[in-house]
Structure 1
């Protein structure tokens, strides 16, 4: 009887402990769907991340098959439309690197939001507001620790149906800036936010 009481007390105490924010691996990729909150649209999403470069690429496709890429390479952020070979630098987003692997652990601005259901999985949720940059959230499975969602700018939630940290699975050249892309701002109205 005492053993059962102690076990119940341990479980209750363990479940009330706030988990520490996770650290991103140096390389990861995901595929899934993203819900764009500004216009209530769902898009297909592929996200590739490599902090050793540092670079992040988001390939997004709307319901009408319009496809675009957000490429964050170093401190430059491009908006690409590969089908028509157009590309511009977003002057509002350029100047910062992709999120560091320890972005949730730096400072004291990370908030644990509790457990959220993502595609029928219980996930821990953390949110961080990076002043003058953006608000991001990162969710990981309670059962496995595998990431299940990236929230970006309170604008989009990308739910992961596939996730890997295997560098060998990165598509060859995924972080290469196409030759048709400018290396200086040529369009002051270029924006990665206009999906």
Structure 2
């Protein structure tokens, strides 16, 4: 399974991210639904991912988020002996309430992941032929080391909101070399990563 899980021990930053994400939920839900999103799940913040970018938000908690994601990616690159390459990032929140989940889906990007912010009591399922189910622990930062890994979140049954932050990295070289990647870049809220 091409997953790496890193631990981010930053309870104060996770709490601040949770509070800010919930405070801005109505603002996010007022954005248009992302074009490739399934309308059956249009009442969740995830469905607006193409229209805002958490990596662009200011404040100490977002500074800490950027540092944590960069550190995890740097560690992954060192583990896999991958050279850093200029990339763009899109980053959004997933907010689920009781009965809501995320259907099985896959990201086409060569590197993507998610940070569990407030996720106790939920699980994410990875893969299709021999799926692996992993309990979502606040502070776990999961990186997908290849595109196309199917994953889903079972319907959540907690009393509080279940919050995670997801992100995709798009290499600058892809955007410059292929009009299909350029179109994807232009239709979303990517910003420079490094």
TM above 0.5, yes or no, is no
The structure that is helix-richer by fraction is: 2
**What's the TM-score once normalised by structure 1's chain length?**
0.27
Query: Which structure is larger by alpha-carbon Rg, 1 or 2?
Result: 1
The structure that is strand-richer by fraction is: 1
Relative contact order, higher structure (CA 8 A, sep 6+) = 2
